[in-house]
Amino acid sequence: MYNLMTLLKNRFQRVYDRIHQAEQACNRNGQVQLLAVSKTKPASMVREAWHLGQKHFGESYLQEALGKINELNDLSDIHWHFIGPIQSNKTRDISTHFDWVHSVDRLKIAQRLNDQRPQELSPLNICLQVNISGEGTKSGISLSELPSLVQSIASLPNLKLRGLMAIPAPEADPDCQREPFRALANALHTLNDEFSLAMDTLSMGMTDDLESAIQEGSTMVRIGTALFGSRLSSQQEPQMDNNK
Ligand SMILES: *Cc1c(COP(=O)(O)O)cnc(C)c1O
């Protein structure tokens, strides 16, 4: 346990250093939140990270996440974010056990999350997943279809529309990395103006491109590998959504 704690502590410190440096480079000190992506990693690791002060965790696979949420229900002030593809038959568990959902990309799913959100909980925080580079992932709504989806979802009472999320295609060159992030940031500002909204969240940036995302306005970076180590390749890809 001592070794895991030391390892995690060093990795968290390195990621915080990267975030702070990137923030400073564009005068955005303190504006970026770290979402620790714990998918495929055991509850014991999440617990250690929580003891280090990390309170927001991202999960992609519902069954795996529910096990961890249950096992860690003694931890106060822990916030769970669902970031994976959503099948309709999973919406009840997601709306009951999570605080945030980053991967909403169609109205039917949003309506179900809204209808199934328990009344005693505060509205579910929602980011819409946008397919910004057209090839990074099959999930996500296109930029052209985004305005009508925003308009429909903004009026659902049990959801709080917080912003946009994207997973661009992997790209090594920082200039190329920044393009889709800039497009997502522009979309957020345009939608806020057009519909008089106050969406405040740009969920963008992962282990290999967090600096580029922060430079273009990210407010939440979703980091897995740099914090918890690499994942087995068979577990890396989100499962196909058979229920579309
Ligand atoms: C797995 C995953 C991440 C974390 O990716 P890393 O490259 O390991 O930091 C971020 N966002 C989503 C949606 C993911 O599925």
222 CA closest ligand 1 atom index: 10
pTM for this model (two decimals): 0.94
Tell me if 225 CB under 6 Å of ligand 1.
yes
Examine the pLDDT at 101 and tell me if it is beyond 50: yes
C-beta 166 within 6 A of ligand 1: no
In a domain, 30, yes or no: yes
> Is residue 235 included in any domain, yes or no?
no
Judge whether 42 lies within some domain: yes
Mean pLDDT score of the chain, rounded to an integer?
93
Q: Is the CB of 213 under 6 A from ligand 1?
A: no
Is residue 219 in some structural domain?
A: yes
Question: For the segment 122-167, what is each residue's pLDDT rounded down to a tens digit?
Answer: 999 999 999 987 665 678 999 999 999 999 999 999 999 999 999 9
List Cα–Cα distances, 225 to 38, 57, 62, 97, 206, in angstroms.
9, 13, 19, 24, 9
Q: What is the pLDDT of residue 237?
A: 46
Residue 94 Cα, ligand 1 centroid: separation in angstroms?
Answer: 18
pLDDT for 179 beyond 60: yes
Query: pLDDT digits over 191-242, tens only?
Result: 999 999 999 999 999 999 999 999 999 999 999 999 999 997 654 444 433 3
Distance 170 CA to ligand 1 centre (A): 11
| Count of structural domains within the chain | 1
Ligand 1 centre from 119 Cα, in Å? 31
Would you say residue 64 has pLDDT above 70?
yes
In ligand 1, the atom with minimum distance to the C-alpha of 167 is 13
Q: Is the CB of 95 under 6 A from ligand 1?
A: no
Determine the average pLDDT of the residues in 45-63: 98
Q: Is residue 169 part of a domain?
A: yes
pLDDT at 36: 98
pLDDT at site 1: 54
**Structure confidence by residue, pLDDT tens digits, 82-100:** 999 999 999 999 999 999 9
Q: Which of 83, 128, 227, 232 to mutate to test the pocket of ligand 1 (most atoms within 8 A of CB)?
A: 83
Per the domain annotation, does 32 fall within a domain? yes
Report whether pLDDT(243) > 80.
no
pLDDT digits (tens, 9 = 90+) for 2-21: 688 999 999 999 999 999 99
Which residue has the CA at smallest separation from atom 1 of ligand 1? 224
* Parallel, antiparallel or unpaired: strands 56-59 and 79-82: parallel
State what percent of residues in the chain have pLDDT above 90.
Answer: 90
Atom number of ligand 1 nearest to Cα 103 = 13
Pocket test for ligand 1, best of 103, 165, 184, 206 (most atoms within 8 A of CB): 206
The pLDDT score that the predictor gives to residue 117 is 98
- Structural domain boundaries enclosing 66: 2-228
Residue 233 lies in a domain: no
Does residue 76 fall inside a structural domain?
yes
CATH code, 49: 3.20.20.10
